[in-house]
Chains A and B, each alone.
Chain A
Amino acid sequence: MASESTLLDPSIFEYLKDNLEEESRIRETLTQIIQRLERSVASAQALLSRVHSTPRSRYPTLVAQVETAIQEQVSVIGELNELASQHPYYKYNSKWARAIQNAISSAIVCAWLGGLPSVGTPSLGRLLTLEEIGAVFKVPTHLKDRDAFHITLEEYLLSLTDVTHELSRLATNAVTMGDFELPLTISAFIKDLFAGFQLLNLKNDILRKRADAVKYDVKRVEDVVYDLSLRGLIKRAGEGDTEMKSE
């Protein structure tokens, strides 16, 4: 092409090449951090799964172990925060969204079981708010005015649907271990969450799909409570003097 004019200014494709190479470097580094986060989340979840065979009296021991695992997540998420905040948040967030959701749900379940005293007042059956989750992981939540790493509202809501699933399973297993009170706490908790989800105007997306599934968790726990009530295994309010006697 011997001509004074050329089609391409070479700097155009140099720019694109540099850009693509930088992007793939960032993705690689992110992948490494996220893999460590996934491993750490998996170990917290593995510990938490023991709750299904742990009597309530031993929750504190179990919860303490989970707290240690969560601390590990906190440090990995700190690294992720540092790297991801240098880039547009939504450019890469799909890479870590799932891992972060699992981290959130492990923290919520841990706090529900009475753990994480550093944030809020520990008690059985409490719900960590989105802000409290941010405090646990030491990252901002639901950012609107600046572009940096944070935990999104959607991630929190999706995690809640994992929590209701986990707790509905716990209701059954608590009964097996002779704990007839816990299903009542769980039932009230999940019902309140379900009522909350019903307030949302959901679009036809993943959140709707997952929120729709919460009703099955409600039902599972209701069935457990029904079984217990039918057999007189739970104390009713005002029970005692007014209890129906068959004789």
Chain B
Amino acid sequence: MSGVKRDRDGNARVKPAPQDGPRGRFHDMFEGFRDELDEHHDRRERIIKASRDVTALSKKIVKHLGKGIPPGTQKDVDSKLEDIAKLLTSVAPDLQSLNRYRYSYSLRCLEEFVEALSFLHYLRHQTLISKGEVDAAMPADISLTPHDYLYGVFDLFGEMMRFATVTTAQMGELVGNEAGRNILSDIHELSCAYEMLPEIPTKDYRGKMEVMRQSVQKVEKLGYGIVVRGSERPKGWIPDMKDDAPAPTSP
């Protein structure tokens, strides 16, 4: 059996011509069900679409930030944040009350969004954005779950690692401040905090932990390279990481 075909937007569907002849005993009941299910599917598709776009925009923000925050970048980031706000606001009514968790899976963009916000925050303030600060930065009436926050910050490790690699190559030392903190000590501190959390027994969580550890190790290698060969290395040199064990890819 096949349902009625619907277009990609999920709304314009060809209504079947009303059938003559006897209607089954449960016809009315199932017609009600059909309307409810259609409503659900339409809602989910709206969310998935917005989520996809928010994910793309968040990734673009992160990419821009890899270059630090010159004024031009700031403008770019702001305009992208505005677009994200519009998208999230458009689906906010679909995500109230019961429906917030119902469509969690379709709304994974929030993790990416948290990642972008946390990276932005780190570059500006050299601190980890708190859940409350992310909540305050949410541009729409959508509640952010602890899960979104936890997993979003997981992705911050990859960004810190990339940022550390690029800046080390440019400056010949690990970025840091006068007070003695640098990106290596920061990534260490953050990863220790994660290690101390109670373990969540899901594959997803274990995978994220593994990727996190790999990012930390890469930054450790950078620090090592500077100490051991610091004076010899020319600007633009980065430690050769090809001889790493099975080259892990970060998210």
Query: Which A positions have Cβ atoms within 8 angstroms of B?
Result: 1-9, 11-13, 15-17, 19-21, 24, 88-91, 127, 129, 142-147, 153, 157, 191-203, 208, 211-212, 215
Contact = CB atoms under 8 A, between A and B. Distances in A.
Interface in B96-146: 97-102, 104, 126-128, 130-131, 146
A201 B128 contact: no
Given A5-B181, A21-B198, A200-B34, 8 more contacts: A5-B127, A7-B190, A8-B190, A88-B101, A142-B36, A143-B98, A147-B98, A192-B25
Interface stretch (B1-9, B70-78, B241-249): B1-9
B228 interface: no
A16 to B, nearest CB: 6
28 contacts: A1-B180, A1-B189, A4-B179, A5-B127, A7-B126, A7-B127, A7-B190, A9-B127, A12-B193, A16-B150, A20-B197, A24-B198, A88-B100, A88-B101, A89-B101, A90-B104, A91-B104, A142-B36, A144-B98, A145-B98, A147-B98, A157-B33, A192-B26, A196-B24, A200-B34, A200-B37, A201-B3, A203-B41
A3 B198 CA distance: 28
B40 to A, nearest CB: 8
B53 interface: no
Interface residues of B, number: 46
B41 A2 contact: no
Contacts of A143: 98
Interface in B178-226: 179-181, 185-186, 189-190, 193, 196-198, 200
B177 interface: yes
Nearest to B41: A203
A195 B19 CA distance: 12
A6 B127 contact: yes
Chain A, interface SS category: helix
B190 A2 contact: no
A55 B131 CA distance: 64
A13 B128 CA distance: 11
B237 interface: no
Contacts of A211: 1
